[in-house]
């Protein structure tokens, strides 16, 4: 048995795409959803019986899941966030598959490597984005943040990754050519119009992690500038593939059987095919 936990959780697309994958693979696994807030997480986790293989965790549980894990993979250690718990042999193995999901989907959109990049936003998702950019080969990243103090953790993480991180408030942002911009702003959030236009003028690919509010205000600016923009649905699928790998063997590096077909059926499940 597997579930996705969070609060809110009714909107989650994870049950749909996991069910599609399990059906293709011929596995009799079940995957449900449960509304769990941060205050209830530990109690709910301790109540699980041996029928549970693992959990997917979303807002606001990733930090609590990190604390509950007995062992974590490197992306989880770097970000302090776990979105996948594998329950096996008395252990709770923690993974952050958001990082690998971003990496795989950016590559799927034709960017095999980047030297410079930009992140819009400085919240928890920006941390995963920064680790993903390091894996993509970035050496310098500009973080666009209204409150530079909120980005201090990203600067410190950049030092651990041997990655130069600079922080720029939107009001002082200068136009610059950037091959990849990752927006981590919540759905519906927006930069001021003038700042959004300056960000978009840099061109390159906008990789917006949002998928429930599309197009985002920033994506509309990208379209007006004639530059490509993609949403986070591909990330959702590809991080879920890594979750299923972990649920199967405890190893996110071991591919699934016929994995290309798994990715395809999960992507089609998102649009109801």
Instruction: Spell out the residues 6+ positions from residue 40 whose beta carbon is closer than 8 angstroms to its own.
Output: none
pLDDT digits (tens, 9 = 90+) for 50-77: 999 999 999 999 999 999 999 999 999 9
Asked if residue 20 has pLDDT above 90, the reply is: yes
User: What pairing do the DSSP bridges indicate for beta strands 205-208 and 229-230?
Assistant: parallel
Task: Look at residues 189, 258, 259 and name the one whose alpha carbon lies nearest to residue 219.
Answer: 189
The pLDDT tens digits for 72-119 are 999 999 999 999 999 998 899 999 999 999 999 999 999 998 999 999
123 is an active site residue: no
Cβ-in-10-Å burial (0-12, 13-18, 19+) of 40 comes to: middle
User: Which strands, in side-by-side order, build the sheet including 180-183?
Assistant: 164-168, 140-144, 116-120, 180-183, 205-208, 229-230
Under 8 Å between Cβ of 166 and 142: yes
- Computed over every residue of the chain, the mean pLDDT equals 95
User: What are 200-223's pLDDT values in tens digits?
Assistant: 988 899 999 998 888 999 999 999
The answer to whether the bond into 173 is cis (omega within 30° of 0) is no
In this prediction, residue 250 carries a pLDDT of 96
Mean of the pLDDT values across residues 224-250?
96
Give the C-alpha separation, 257 to 127, whole Å: 31
Active-site residue, from 3, 9, 36, 62: 62
What per-residue confidence (pLDDT) applies to 273? 62
pLDDT band at 42 (very low <50, low <70, confident <90, very high): very high
CA 130 to chain centre: 11
- What contacts 24+ positions apart, CB below 8 Å, involve 211-215? 211/236, 212/11, 212/187, 213/187, 213/188
pLDDT score recorded for residue 211: 86
CA distance 111 to 157: 23
Residues 13-38, mean pLDDT to the nearest whole number: 98
């Amino acid at each position: 048995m597997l579930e996705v936990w969070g609060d809110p959780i009714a909107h989650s697309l994870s049950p749909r795409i996991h069910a599609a994958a399990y059906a293709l693979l011929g596995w009799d696994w079940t995957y449900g959803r449960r509304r769990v807030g941060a205050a209830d997480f530990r109690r709910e986790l301790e109540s699980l019986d041996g029928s549970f293989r693992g959990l997917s965790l979303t807002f606001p549980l990733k930090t609590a899941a990190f604390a509950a894990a007995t062992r974590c993979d490197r992306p989880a250690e770097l970000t302090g966030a776990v979105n996948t718990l594998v329950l096996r042999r008395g252990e709770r193995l923690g993974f952050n598959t958001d990082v690998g999901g971003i990496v795989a989907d950016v590559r799927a959109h034709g960017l095999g490597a980047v030297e410079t990049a930009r992140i819009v936003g400085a919240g928890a998702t920006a941390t995963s984005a920064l680790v993903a950019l390091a894996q993509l080969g970035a050496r310098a990243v500009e973080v666009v943040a209204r409150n530079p103090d909120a980005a201090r953790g990203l600067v410190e993480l950049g030092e651990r990754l041997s990655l130069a991180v600079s922080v720029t408030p939107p009001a002082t942002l200068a136009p610059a050519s950037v091959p990849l911009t990752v927006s981590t702003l919540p759905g519906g959030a927006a930069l001021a119009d003038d700042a959004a236009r300056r960000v978009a003028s840099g061109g390159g690919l906008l990789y917006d992690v949002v998928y429930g509010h599309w197009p985002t205000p920033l994506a509309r600016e990208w379209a007006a500038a004639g530059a490509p923009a993609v949403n986070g649905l591909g990330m959702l699928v590809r991080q879920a593939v890594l979750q299923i790998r972990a649920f199967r063997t405890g190893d996110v590096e071991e591919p699934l059987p016929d994995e290309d077909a798994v990715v395809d059926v999960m992507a089609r499940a998102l649009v109801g095919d």
